[in-house]
């Protein structure tokens, strides 16, 4: 893939990630002045994950690192705009949730209950469920780590 094609795919990925980030920010009653920043942060996070996936990194680790990036930027912006970091970060991380893996696990579970046990269906169920679980775990831990690092109270000596 050429560099121009990579940049076009990256811009498309970022633009399409900004839409659900803004939509979920509206669902969470984020103030109107923060909506563009939620979309931008969602685009930055999803774009960084896209680049890490393109470089060959596993989706779990790239989601983890992208969530850390979202958390760090969200904390910085919260200081600039005098808002809580969750105003920016929660809606921005939602476009990275593993909908396809969770859907495939659910479909495999339904097929198991309908057709009975088969090893390929059980393998699909377990692998997709674990993949979705690890991605959700990586997103939640990655989003919380910057706050733990920056807001941790240090004992006085």
Please, are residues 88 and 78 in contact by the beta-carbon 8 Å criterion? yes
Distance CA 123, CA 128 (A): 8
Residues 6+ away with beta carbon under 8 Å from 6: 54
- Measured on CA atoms in the order 152, 155, 156, 157, is the torsion positive or negative? negative
When comparing pLDDT for 150 and 117, which is higher? 117
Per-residue pLDDT tens digits for 40-91: 999 999 999 999 999 999 999 999 999 999 999 999 999 888 888 899 999 9
Domain that holds residue 98: 3-151
Residue 51, domain member (yes or no): yes
Residue 68, domain member (yes or no): yes
Residues 6+ away with beta carbon under 8 Å from 72: 146
Residue 35, domain member (yes or no): yes
Residue 12, domain member (yes or no): yes
What average pLDDT does the chain have?
A: 93
Structure confidence at residue 114 (pLDDT): 94
pTM: 0.90
| Per-residue pLDDT at 157 exceeds 70 | no
Residue 156, domain member (yes or no): no
For the chain, the domain total comes to: 1
Structure confidence at residue 83 (pLDDT): 87
């Amino acid at each position: 893939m050429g560099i121009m094609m990579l940049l076009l795919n990256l811009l498309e990925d970022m633009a399409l990630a900004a839409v659900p980030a803004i939509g979920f920010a509206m669902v969470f009653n984020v103030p109107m002045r923060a909506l563009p920043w939620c979309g931008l942060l969602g685009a930055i996070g999803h774009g960084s994950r896209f680049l890490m996936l393109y470089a060959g990194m596993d989706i779990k680790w790239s989601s983890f690192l992208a969530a850390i990036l979202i958390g760090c930027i969200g904390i910085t912006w919260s200081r600039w705009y005098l808002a809580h970091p969750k105003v920016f970060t929660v809606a921005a991380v939602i476009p990275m949730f593993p909908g396809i893996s969770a859907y495939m696990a659910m479909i495999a579970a339904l097929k198991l209950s309908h057709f009975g046990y088969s090893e390929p269906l059980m393998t699909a169920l377990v692998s997709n469920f674990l993949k979705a679980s690890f991605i959700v775990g990586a997103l939640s831990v990655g989003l919380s780590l910057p706050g733990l690092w920056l807001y941790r109270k240090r004992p006085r000596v």
